Structure 1
Amino acid sequence: MNRHINAIAGRLSLRPPQRRSLEILDRITEIAPPGKSADVAAMLEVIRGEFPSVTDFERDFPSLCFALATGVGKTRLMGAFISYLHLAHGIDNFFVLAPNLTIYNKLITDFSDRNHPKYVFRGIAEFAIDAPSIITGDNYDQRDPLSGMLFGDVRINIFNISKINAELRGGRSGQRVPRIKRLSEYIGESYFDYLAGLPDLVMLMDESHRYRASAGIRAINELKPILGLELTATPFVETSRGALPFKNVIIDYPLGQAMKDGFVKEPAVVTRKNFNPAGMSLQAIERLKLEDGVRLHESVKVELETYARESDNPIVKPFLLVIARDTTHAGQLLALIQSGEFFEGRYRDKVIQVDSSKTGAEEEEMIGRLLKVEHTEEPTEIVIHVNMLKEGWDVTNLYTIVPLRAANARVLIEQSIGRGLRLPYGKRTGVTAVDRLNIVAHDKFQEIVTEANRPESAIHLQTLVLDTDDLGQKTATVVSQPQLATKLGLKPAQLTSSTTMAGQDTAPVFTRPEEQKVAQIAYEVIRKLENQPQTLPTVEYLKKPEIQAAIVKAVEEQHRPAQLELEGLSEQPDIAAVVAQTVELVTQQTIDIPRILVVPKGEVKSGFKPFLLNLDSLRYPAVSDELWIQHLRTNQLEIVSLGRGGIEEARLEDYVVSSLVDFDDISYDDHADLLYDLAGQTVQHFKGYLSEED
């Protein structure tokens, strides 16, 4: 195995299926080295010999599909692939294909923004100094691709296949030559021809099932990359005759296995106890499912906040996804949720509609809120969508799905859960509500359960039955803090809109935000002094002028205004007065706990009195000093005597005592007589059943 595998897997914290994929790529480069002049047919035969699932590349170039379940981490795996191919084989040029604009923009961020939490090269030291150049479908004709080559720069081209398809269809101008094939003034040829001429171009295809038969991918074949790496969670193409599986799948890690291994949430189908749709209209069923979904969402929100506070993790703000039939239906649902009769209007400003009906400023606002739906400060808790949220919309805080679009059980399962399987903390927590994705499907409950329990089904769903009595009970996460903190006006970390604070009937001494900030700093300084008994023996010492002066000085050093302000325009807090009040509150609300030291009087001696050892359990056999050597061909027996080695002691007891001296449990000088007495007991015990020679 190449030495870079362990390094990359460790630096990028690859999961087992990701690491296995990287190991497979390493093996492929060993048995069928990619190259511009490589024999594609011969490579296929070699690879098929070791990986029988690969029966055809299905491209004009060697291309392999890595089928990994949603939520396992395909984008990070692409980063691992690029890192490995560059570090192990010196490959510098990569072409990444995205199936749509959403994934295209996401990939650009994940590959280029080093401050982004999902940056794919975090930990790769070679890229920390010399980061790869990111060339996109929007800027490739505005730069010289040859710049940076002298320094061995890695170049990653990220293109949107749907845009290439549109250009091939003629676009608005009717021009049938895509822009990528037009002459570039920088390089004297088209960028397409430049890429096709590169000796080491590797193509990575994200969600490759989305453009298998498109005109764009046929044009991409002309790039003649030395290797294609496809990534998808669904390695098949839907046709009128059914699903056609890919022929170049080299590893298949299905969703069922990802659930079993704990890499994604556990999906569960939800219904109401004793639900009977008889006599209920479609609108009534939808209203009931929507309301039960919101009730479940509120319960999950409490569970998530409670878990986060108890485990000292960031608070996750969950949201509910409603799948509407069409844009008209979505608009009706939006109006209902924003009405005052729906949960007393609590979600009026916490819901967005995501579909093609929005344009201009409304569309920008919709996309902006959607992209920030994971942020705790973003108020959105309900997202209504029709068909816009597909691959590429990767969120970790989707916990409840209410499908209101008519579909069979299999479609509901496949289309509903894909977007909500990612875990917010990257792994399961052991808390059921935190690790579960809920699909509210009262009217389809049994049908979905039956479909999921089929032997050939890759997904086995849990079931959750909502009790009417339980639905009427509202739970909340109550956060308590010391009364002193409440009086100082201090707030616990990570407050959310649903956080309930205990002791709210206690009025804070400081009401202005700036004074509360000063009081918090002062309190933190005092807490540090508590660990310095030489400076602050008791809490009463806080009232000494010199101690308060030191606290004021420390607070002034740490306190900074929220923003630069012109002098005299705003009232600045009196730091000395706030510190004095804080000290007064601390002394009133604190009880000194004295430090008690027990110190013996006079000379203190400790030691041992003679005692008898219980050696009944020590029955060690004597070990022979001879080795027997049997020759296999001649059967000759040879005996080798081993020398005892070490220092010969005058008495047997000396062997025991010399070993005991190495332990500091007992003083040899003070207890020599006792040690020899115990050693003598030991020797006599062994003499009782061993011969003198042994």
Structure 2
Amino acid sequence: MRIPIDEELPLAREISIRLADDARAIESGEPCALLEAVTPTTAELLRWWFDASISAGRRDAFHEGQRDAILAIVYAHEVLGASTLRELYDRLAPGSLTPARRDELAHERHGHPKYAAKLATGTGKTWVMNALLVWQHLNHLAAPADPRFSSNFLVVAPGLIVYERLLDSFRGRRVDGVRDPRTSELHARRALFTPPRHERAIAALLASGVVEKHEIGLRVPVGGMIAVTNWHLLAGAEDPDFAGEAGEVWRGRRRGDDDPARAAVESMFPLSPGAAGHSLESLDRRAARGRPLESLIELSDLVVLNDEAHHVHALRSGQDTSDVEWQQSLTAIAATKGRRFVQLDFSATPYDEAGSGRRSHRRYFPHIVVDFDLHAAMQRGLVKAIALDRRVELAALPLDFTAERDEHGAVIGLSSGQRTMIRAGLSKLALLEAQFAAIDPERRPKLLIVTEDTIVSRHVEQFLLESERLDAEDVLRVDSGRRSELGPKEWEPIRARLFDLDRQARPRVVISVLMLREGFDVDSICVVVPLRSAGSGILLEQTIGRGLRLMWRGDPVVEELKRETRERMRRRLEPANHFDVLFVIEHPAFQAFYDELLGDGLLAIVGDEETAAIGDLERVELRPDWQE
């Protein structure tokens, strides 16, 4: 297991040291302290997942970063058994308890078991979530009284795109408008996640236990529940009355209301007679709106899995970490459960940004127990290599890459810098398309253009269609403004095209503002043109992250060429081929990010001279009589 260098992650550092020998022992099929310390069910699962002699014949396998995340959370929760985050620090890293950290850990949001996994974009955190769900459910079936385990799960997405992807994972993808359970990830990859004797138990949970967000509180499955929602629902952003009376009373206590009698009355009679709008219809509506949070509060046990968990906190004035609304709802849900509430957070960027400019710095979540960052993922070839396209025409541009605006600040068109960057991206895309098609016509590279705002995205679309003469079918604009313009019915076909991007020749270019900053899990983005000027570290990493997923997998010849690319980059040379290389058209806002990668030999800089995308690889057809 990789030992984190960052001193800000003391839990991850200590766990990596403690589990290094156990990870090797499990892989080689040898006994170890970890297997002795966990339940028989957990030991069976760890051997099934990571013992090389057992997993050798399987199509799928966990990589090192996924393994480290699963082992770290299992060890922290099952072996150490701390009931609060402060207890976990006492058992793992008491020397790191500075006065500031002690104050932070005393907050009620840390008063239950909680663990965060820092996993680079594109390294498969959904597989980790699925494995941990199987671990919890099977252990709960084996020992229902054990407070460490549960069969109730709340899976929280950062937005509708990730929400739909999670429903695909648990309930199956839509086929002709109906979800096909055979395509759910836990079923389709059951040979990876579940030992054969437990397949029926997981199949039963998937068949009856998956609950969509509009069903929470209306349907409570027997035998376990996987409730999937987006954080907006927990925050009341989609429905301001989502919390209902239970949440209001809890928030009243948080505000310090000094009238407990009033709070008690309001908990039973949320609406007073005679008040405006308090008809029977509105009472029914309020009761229905409050039901989701109340039903989650009433559960005896629950495991929350937060996907893209950098939404958990927000920095407010004075650089103090304050709860955002949906974290307040989680705290309300946890308050009734003690150690039977477990919070698992997953993010490539689990930190807040404090300050601005040169004084800005990252404040990592205090509960990070594993760190598998972008550097580690790139070194192991688990994500695309990154090449910075520095052309002569780009180097001559001014540093202002924003759109042209009038004296009132309204966007009136694209700047010359933006037009040049887009043309550079189109040129790189055309090269990749032509040469990849000669090797495998099913590999279709795409260009992603990330803009300042929805107004600019419309100008980019107009520029591509009118100035660059692209066909309308070649361009897909997916910003929130367009979704609002079209409405749900007209938006659905666009969403379907977006999610099917890898399998379709068109569109070739996707334009987005922020909708695709997370959860956009396609493999074919090979060129990124960032027209945004924001300097947010989280935003920069997420922009690059949209194109990091591998496009070329499984071909041993191509894998060797990719290893050659990584080796050349370590020697500060340009790649000799473009298999799984993500090209980023240069933007000054990314400079610090580039410099960090460049210092580790993980970034290539390419210029005007075009390298053959496929290197010296040639496709040789079989002779007609090859069988003889």
Q: Which TM-score tier does this pair reach, normalised by the shorter chain?
A: 0.5 to 0.7
Query: Secondary structure at 2:190's aligned position in 1?
Result: coil
Deviation at 1:28, TM superposition (A): 2.3
**Aligned pairs (5 A) from 1:267-666:** 267-273=386-392, 276-277=395-396, 283-308=415-440, 315-339=442-466, 341-342=467-468, 345-358=469-482, 359-360=485-486, 363-377=491-505, 379-408=506-535, 413-426=540-553, 429=559, 430-431=561-562, 432-441=577-586, 444=588, 448=590, 451-454=593-596, 460-467=602-609, 470=610
For 1:473 and 1:242, the matched residues in 2 are separated by 38
For 1:50 and 1:30, the matched residues in 2 are separated by 23
User: Is 2:156–2:305's contact at 8 Å kept on the other side of the alignment?
Assistant: yes
Deviation at 1:438, TM superposition (A): 0.2
For 1:171 and 1:93, the matched residues in 2 are separated by 24
Matched, 1:116 2:166: no
Question: 1:185-241 CA distances to partner (integer Å, 9 max, x unpaired)?
Answer: 999x95544433444422211111113221121121122253211111112112346
For 1:337 and 1:21, the matched residues in 2 are separated by 43
User: Is 2:598–2:604's contact at 8 Å kept on the other side of the alignment?
Assistant: no
TM normalised by structure 1 equals 0.58
For 1:389 and 1:4, the matched residues in 2 are separated by 35
For 2:536 and 2:328, the matched residues in 1 are separated by 35
* Correspondent of 1:136 among 212, 222, 236: 212
Matched, 1:79 2:130: yes
Query: Secondary structure at 1:401's aligned position in 2?
Result: strand
Query: Secondary structure at 2:383's aligned position in 1?
Result: coil
User: Is 1:269–1:449's contact at 8 Å kept on the other side of the alignment?
Assistant: no
Greater mean alpha carbon deviation, residues 94-103 or residues 236-245: 236-245
Identity %: 21
Query: Secondary structure at 2:45's aligned position in 1?
Result: helix
> How many pairs were matched up?
463
* Correspondent of 1:263 among 371, 375, 382: 382
- What letter matches 2:479 in structure 1? D
For 2:162 and 2:503, the matched residues in 1 are separated by 20
- Larger RCO (CA under 8 A, 6+ residues apart): 2
Matched, 1:33 2:76: no
CA change 1:170–1:458 in 2 (3 A) is farther
The residue number in structure 2 matching 1:203 is 304
For 1:98 and 1:479, the matched residues in 2 are separated by 43
Matched, 1:238 2:345: no
For 1:198 and 1:376, the matched residues in 2 are separated by 44
Query: Secondary structure at 2:607's aligned position in 1?
Result: strand
The residue number in structure 1 matching 2:176 is none
User: Is 2:425–2:447's contact at 8 Å kept on the other side of the alignment?
Assistant: yes
For 1:331 and 1:247, the matched residues in 2 are separated by 41
TM normalised by structure 2 equals 0.64
For 1:160 and 1:244, the matched residues in 2 are separated by 24
The residue number in structure 2 matching 1:228 is 343
User: Is 2:85–2:113's contact at 8 Å kept on the other side of the alignment?
Assistant: yes
The residue number in structure 1 matching 2:30 is none
For 1:456 and 1:272, the matched residues in 2 are separated by 18
Matched, 1:3 2:118: no
Query: Secondary structure at 1:316's aligned position in 2?
Result: coil
Query: Secondary structure at 2:522's aligned position in 1?
Result: coil
Deviation at 1:268, TM superposition (A): 1.0
Matched, 1:94 2:153: yes
For 1:274 and 1:62, the matched residues in 2 are separated by 54
User: Is 1:269–1:448's contact at 8 Å kept on the other side of the alignment?
Assistant: no
For 1:366 and 1:474, the matched residues in 2 are separated by 32
Query: Secondary structure at 1:202's aligned position in 2?
Result: strand
CA change 1:451–1:77 in 2 (3 A) is closer
The residue number in structure 2 matching 1:219 is 329
Deviation at 1:398, TM superposition (A): 0.3
For 2:579 and 2:84, the matched residues in 1 are separated by 51
- What letter matches 2:44 in structure 1? R
- What letter matches 1:202 in structure 2? V
- What letter matches 1:108 in structure 2? L
Question: 1:127-156 CA distances to partner (integer Å, 9 max, x unpaired)?
Answer: 45424311121112442x1x53xxxx3321
User: Is 1:256–1:459's contact at 8 Å kept on the other side of the alignment?
Assistant: no
User: Is 2:119–2:373's contact at 8 Å kept on the other side of the alignment?
Assistant: yes
Structure 1 unmatched runs, 5+: 310-314, 485-526, 532-592, 594-694
Deviation at 1:264, TM superposition (A): 0.4
Query: Secondary structure at 1:387's aligned position in 2?
Result: coil
Greater mean alpha carbon deviation, residues 447-456 or residues 386-395: 447-456
For 1:248 and 1:474, the matched residues in 2 are separated by 43
The residue number in structure 2 matching 1:487 is none
* Correspondent of 1:158 among 219, 228, 241: 228
The residue number in structure 2 matching 1:648 is none
User: Is 1:192–1:223's contact at 8 Å kept on the other side of the alignment?
Assistant: yes
User: Is 2:501–2:507's contact at 8 Å kept on the other side of the alignment?
Assistant: yes
CA change 1:435–1:40 in 2 (3 A) is closer
- What letter matches 1:397 in structure 2? S
Matched, 1:45 2:45: no
Query: Secondary structure at 2:546's aligned position in 1?
Result: helix
User: Is 2:378–2:602's contact at 8 Å kept on the other side of the alignment?
Assistant: no
User: Is 2:217–2:295's contact at 8 Å kept on the other side of the alignment?
Assistant: no
Deviation at 1:322, TM superposition (A): 1.2
Query: Secondary structure at 1:115's aligned position in 2?
Result: helix
Query: Secondary structure at 2:514's aligned position in 1?
Result: coil
User: Is 1:316–1:376's contact at 8 Å kept on the other side of the alignment?
Assistant: no
Deviation at 1:175, TM superposition (A): 8.8
The residue number in structure 1 matching 2:573 is none
Deviation at 1:336, TM superposition (A): 2.0
- What letter matches 2:229 in structure 1? F
User: Is 2:436–2:614's contact at 8 Å kept on the other side of the alignment?
Assistant: no
Deviation at 1:326, TM superposition (A): 2.5
For 2:426 and 2:364, the matched residues in 1 are separated by 38
User: Is 2:518–2:542's contact at 8 Å kept on the other side of the alignment?
Assistant: no
For 2:452 and 2:85, the matched residues in 1 are separated by 47
Query: Secondary structure at 1:357's aligned position in 2?
Result: helix
CA change 1:101–1:60 in 2 (3 A) is farther
Question: 1:263-293 CA distances to partner (integer Å, 9 max, x unpaired)?
Answer: 1001111022475526999733332222221
What is the root-mean-square deviation of aligned Cα atoms in Å? 4.4
Structure 2 unmatched runs, 5+: 1-34, 36-42, 142-149, 173-180, 251-266, 271-283, 314-322, 335-339, 402-414, 563-576
